């Protein structure tokens, strides 16, 4: 899913260094975890920039789009180089992608855990969207930090899990949800975590009397641990939980640098996986095409 550039490209003397400085105002590097390899991953601080492409990941599609832009710099959420590399091979697909990016002259900068936690970052963007979804039928209070990356919400009136799932799938335009339980429980106190959720947060969530966690993804053992504690885990998809920050980030960056900015939000799951599955299940192709994204029935209970 690609959003067209804003503004017009022009010779304005902007450099990678200027964009990096703006990004580090938005997401200060000292907020990042010590293990997180954020920063400029490919390119040079002195390189001239004519446009910026923002994406969750460095992918072939992102490189293709960047190739259509004027002297692009790519800003990703997930660092494309995470572990120490002992080789750089053209017959290794992820490494070949890095070589292509460098050979194309693209600079690549990543803001990861610092963008997750910063005010207005990934966590705040996700809880804001979920708050919008839930407020359609039930007043919501709160939005307090919990367990570093989480945010808490409280429904004024308890709501069934199935209703909550339908509302957030519709708002986030994801393909569905994955749960750690098969009961349509009542939801009242919610914790929201972007990306991967870890059970290290369990004790703090218990202290906050959280009954439901909405996150990007979770491991089997984590889901089991929370179920044992009586908590429901709702996974909306790692990318679905994080791509909510891309448009707000582009707006903030556009206000800081005089450059056209494009956003690539990733695969359109509603236009591919969901429709393919519906057709395979016996629904006519015409009906599958006309099914609106996020409609009731996408949530995978």
Bridge partners, residue 153, by sequence: 142, 190
Residues in the chain: 301
Q: Where are the beta strands (DSSP E) in 99-254?
A: 107-110, 140-146, 150-160, 178-179, 186-197, 212-218, 232-235
Q: How confident is the model at residue 72 (pLDDT cuts 50, 70, 90)?
A: very high
Q: Using an 8 Å Cβ cutoff, are 172 and 298 in contact?
A: no
Hunting for tokens 């072939």 — which residue is that? Answer: 60
The pLDDT of residue 142 is 86
Within 8 A by CB and 6+ apart from 143, the residues are: 127, 131, 151, 152, 153
Percentage above 70 pLDDT, the chain: 85
Mean of pLDDT values over 26-48:
98
CATH architecture of 2-115+243-264: 3-Layer(aba) Sandwich (3.40)
pTM of the model: 0.87
Mean of pLDDT values over 180-187:
96
The pLDDT of residue 146 is 96
The pLDDT of residue 143 is 85
pLDDT surpasses 70 at 29: yes
Mean of pLDDT values over 22-45:
98
Hunting for tokens 């914790």 — which residue is that? Answer: 191
Write out pLDDT tens, residues 4-14.
544 444 456 89
Fold match between domain 2-115+243-264 and domain 119-236: yes
CATH topology of domain 119-236: 3.40.1390
CB atoms inside a 10 Å sphere around CB 107: 27
Take residue 2 and report the two structure tokens written for it. Answer: 């690609």
Write out pLDDT tens, residues 137-155.
899 998 899 999 999 999 9
The pLDDT of residue 86 is 94
pLDDT surpasses 80 at 2: no
Residue 221 host element (H or E): helix 220-228
Write out pLDDT tens, residues 244-283.
999 999 999 999 999 999 999 987 766 665 555 555 555 5
Mean predicted lDDT score pLDDT of the chain: 89
Hunting for tokens 């194309």 — which residue is that? Answer: 104
Q: How confident is the model at residue 95 (pLDDT cuts 50, 70, 90)?
A: very high
Domain borders along the chain are 2-115+243-264, 119-236
The pLDDT of residue 237 is 95
């Amino acid at each position: 899913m690609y959003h067209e550039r804003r503004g017009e490209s022009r010779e304005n003397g902007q450099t990678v260094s200027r964009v990096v400085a703006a990004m580090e105002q938005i997401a200060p590097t000292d907020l990042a975890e010590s293990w997180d390899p954020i920063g400029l991953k490919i390119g040079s601080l002195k390189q001239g920039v004519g446009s910026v492409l923002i994406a969750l990941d460095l992918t072939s599609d992102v490189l293709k789009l960047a190739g259509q832009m004027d002297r692009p710099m790519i800003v990703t959420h997930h660092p494309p180089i995470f572990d120490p590399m002992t080789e750089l091979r053209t017959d290794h697909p992820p490494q070949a992608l890095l070589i292509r990016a460098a050979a194309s002259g693209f600079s690549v900068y990543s803001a990861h855990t610092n963008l997750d936690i910063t005010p207005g970052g990934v966590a705040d963007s996700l809880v804001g969207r979920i708050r919008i979804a839930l407020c359609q039928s039930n007043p919501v209070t709160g939005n307090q930090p919990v367990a570093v990356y989480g945010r808490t919400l409280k429904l004024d009136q308890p709501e069934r899990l199935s209703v909550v799932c339908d509302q957030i799938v519709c708002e986030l335009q994801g393909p569905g949800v994955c749960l750690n339980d098969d009961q349509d429980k009542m939801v009242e106190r919610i914790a929201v975590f972007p990306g991967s959720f870890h059970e290290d947060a369990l004790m703090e969530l218990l202290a906050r009397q959280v009954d439901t966690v909405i996150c990007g993804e979770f491991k089997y053992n984590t889901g089991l641990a929370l179920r044992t504690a009586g908590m429901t885990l709702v996974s909306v998809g790692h990318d679905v939980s994080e791509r909510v920050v891309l448009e707000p980030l582009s707006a903030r960056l556009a206000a800081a640098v005089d450059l056209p900015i494009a956003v690539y939000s990733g695969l359109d799951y509603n236009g591919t996986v969901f429709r393919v599955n519906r057709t395979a299940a016996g629904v006519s192709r015409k009906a599958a095409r006309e099914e609106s994204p996020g409609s009731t029935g996408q949530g995978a209970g």
